[in-house]
């Protein structure tokens, strides 16, 4: 491995520390009692303890902090360093007057103060090193709240140089900006780029708030298999693998739906799962083949109840994450305050195109689809054609949260037939900023109807639709034992994170997005 000049210098500093008797990677616990942001927030000025010292004013409050060294300035008898901990940054002041004279060449430092002198003033510390600081808080004459170091401990030596990002008036210069580098080396991105960590803290708040709402409603979080013998619960192309012990091919799950419904059959009032799904499909700014989805199923409810529950859930999440229901997504201001508009899908298509697809045959709908650029229509059934037409003509126009409802039965093989509209189902998709965020049903619980729907899906598969569902015989058996009226919903956590944090792509809300291996 060829090392750069900076890497060689760092390794030399590492060896010098070891020669001084300093362990650059100590195993001892380092207990902190303060964090940068908290220290600054609770600081109170006091009268200077030494009127002759015009450089600093002391509070006398002892602190013990730890973090990564992000900058260093040696100014005569003083050194100013900046430490970044898990919450932010704070300046640290080190004075030569507080420590003993430097150690003569050939001799070993025998005290903490002697070691600290050599580490700081002989520049053995490098940007990126982890250090611990013991001292007290003060405000400099320049007005910056800082820590006056009385003891410094090396906690971990950094052997690779960090990119140095400089900020002026909120603009980053010499930044670590290349998207591929940022996604591959997220550990560097988190350290040097302001705001990146905040995105993932907000993502955690989204999930934490969601769990709180479900738990307070009395619903139970569960776990279902990721490896499945049948890829069911959604229309998608699966990843395949092989189970050596059983000697069978298996699929990475594309959805949790069918297992969660089995638990409703088993007597749970409401169950939910927040977990990873896998779909062997295209990648773009809103799709990643490995993604996080939440699915919730509640007995004795329907899709009308679920719409109301969903808009209340998203309103609470928006307030928890941003303090307001209004979120800036790109150039748009999206308001998650309930209630949301409700619009049947065929009415939406007629609004945008003028075509009333409800009166058309499959062949007539195919002609309309071709007019709007839908390809490979011969492999599609009526439902898939309507879905493609909606995607081409309508989907991108719904910026404010909108429930698109009442999908044709061909599009919804797991959904209960509409109670009053023939040929339609009780299903909705929630559109936000031109993209689907959620998909929900009044769940189909008639086992005979469900079997017939599965058989129709098999016919679509025979026509070449590689996303058609496969019949799940064990799920059919579960339905035959009886499933109560149930409503279910799936929400894409990654896309929700994009919206709530205002990020441009799914890669910006995934800590480690899927990428090609490095050469």
Q: Could you tell me the CATH number of the domain that includes residue 300?
A: 3.30.930.10
Residue 218 class from Cβ within 10 Å (0-12 exposed, 13-18 middle, 19+ buried)?
Answer: exposed
Select from 162, 187, 215 the last residue of a domain. 162
Q: What is the pLDDT of residue 317?
A: 98
The pLDDT value recorded for residue 119 is 80
Q: What is the pLDDT of residue 54?
A: 42
Tell me how far apart the alpha carbons of residues 45 and 262 are, in angstroms, rounded to a whole number. Answer: 63
Are residues 281 and 410 located together in one domain of the fold?
yes
Q: Which domain holds residue 34?
A: 5-162
Is residue 65 domain-shared with residue 136, that is, in the same domain? Answer: yes
CA distance 225 to 91: 49
Per-residue pLDDT, 120: 79
pLDDT at 56: 45
Domain finish residue from 108, 139, 162: 162
Stated pTM of the model = 0.89
CB burial of residue 514 (10 Å; 0-12, 13-18, 19+): middle
Tell me whether residue 69 is in a domain: yes
Please give the radius of gyration of the chain, using alpha carbons only, rounded to the nearest integer. Answer: 30
Phi-psi bin for 346: left (phi > 0), alpha (psi -120 to 50), beta?
alpha
- The per-residue pLDDT for 60 is 63
**For residue 105, what are the β-bridge partners?**
none
135 and 210 share a domain? no
Q: Is residue 243 part of a domain?
A: no
Q: Are residues 201 and 99 located together in one domain of the fold?
A: no
Spans of the chain below 50 pLDDT: 51-58, 100-102
Query: Of 162, 185, 208, which residue constitutes the final position of a domain?
Result: 162
CA–CA distances in Å: residue 267 to residues 255, 440, 443: 21, 21, 16
For tokens 């086992």, the residue is 447
Using alpha carbons, list the distances in angstroms from residue 124 to 109, 119, 152, 482, 515. 14, 5, 13, 71, 37
Answer whether 426's CB lies under 8 Å from 418's CB. Answer: yes
Mark whether 158 and 202 lie in a shared domain: no
Could you tell me if 137 and 202 lie in one domain?
no
């Amino acid at each position: 491995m060829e090392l750069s000049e900076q890497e060689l210098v760092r390794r030399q500093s590492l060896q010098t520390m070891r020669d001084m008797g300093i362990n650059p990677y100590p195993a001892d616990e380092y207990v902190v009692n303060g964090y940068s942001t908290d220290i600054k927030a609770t600081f109170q000025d006091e009268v200077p303890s030494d009127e002759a010292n015009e450089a600093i004013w002391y509070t006398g409050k002892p602190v013990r902090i730890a973090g990564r060294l992000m900058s260093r300035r040696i100014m005569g008898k003083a050194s100013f360093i900046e430490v970044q901990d898990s919450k932010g940054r704070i300046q640290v002041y080190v004075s030569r007057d507080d420590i003993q004279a430097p150690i003569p060449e050939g001799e070993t430092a025998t005290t903490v103060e002697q070691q600290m002198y050599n580490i700081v003033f002989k520049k053995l510390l490098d940007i990126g090193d982890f250090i611990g600081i013991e001292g007290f808080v003060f405000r400099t004459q320049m007005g910056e709240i800082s820590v006056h170091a009385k003891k410094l401990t090396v906690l971990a030596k950094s052997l690779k140089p960090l990119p140095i990002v400089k900020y002026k008036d909120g603009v980053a210069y010499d930044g670590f900006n290349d998207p591929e580098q940022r996604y591959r080396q997220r550990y560097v991105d988190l350290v040097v780029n302001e705001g990146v960590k905040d995105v993932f803290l907000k993502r955690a708040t989204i999930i934490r708030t969601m769990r709180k709402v479900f738990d307070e409603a009395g619903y139970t979080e569960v776990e279902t298999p990721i490896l499945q013998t049948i890829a069911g619960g959604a229309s998608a192309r699966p990843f395949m693998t092989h189970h050596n012990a059983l000697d069978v091919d298996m699929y990475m799950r594309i959805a949790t739906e069918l297992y969660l419904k089995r638990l409703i059959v088993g007597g749970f009032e409401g169950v939910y799962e927040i977990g990873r799904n896998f779909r062997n499909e295209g990648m773009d700014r809103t799709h990643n083949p490995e993604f996080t989805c939440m699915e919730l199923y509640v007995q004795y409810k329907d899709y009308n109840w679920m719409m109301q529950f969903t808009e209340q859930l998203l309103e609470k999440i928006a307030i928890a994450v941003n303090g307001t229901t209004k979120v800036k997504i790109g150039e748009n201001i999206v308001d998650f305050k309930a209630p949301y508009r409700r619009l049947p899908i065929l009415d939406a298509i007629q609004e945008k195109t003028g075509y009333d697809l409800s009166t058309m045959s499959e062949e007539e709908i195919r002609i309309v689809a071709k007019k709007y650029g839908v390809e490979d229509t011969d492999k599609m059934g009526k439902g898939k054609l309507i879905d493609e037409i909606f995607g081409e003509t309508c989907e991108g126009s719904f910026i404010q949260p909108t429930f698109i409802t009442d999908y044709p039965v061909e599009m919804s093989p797991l959904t209960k037939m509409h109670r009053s509209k023939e040929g339609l189902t009780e299903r909705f998709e929630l559109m936000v900023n031109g993209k689907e965020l959620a998909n929900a049903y009044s769940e189909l619980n008639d086992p005979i109807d469900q079997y017939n729907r599965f058989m129709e899906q098999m016919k679509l598969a025979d026509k070449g639709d590689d996303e058609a569902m496969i019949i799940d015989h064990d799920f059919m058996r579960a339905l035959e034992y009886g499933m109560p009226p149930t409503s279910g919903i799936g929400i894409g956590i990654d896309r929700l994170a994009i919206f709530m944090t205002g990020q441009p792509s799914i890669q910006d809300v995934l800590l480690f997005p899927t990428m090609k291996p490095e050469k």
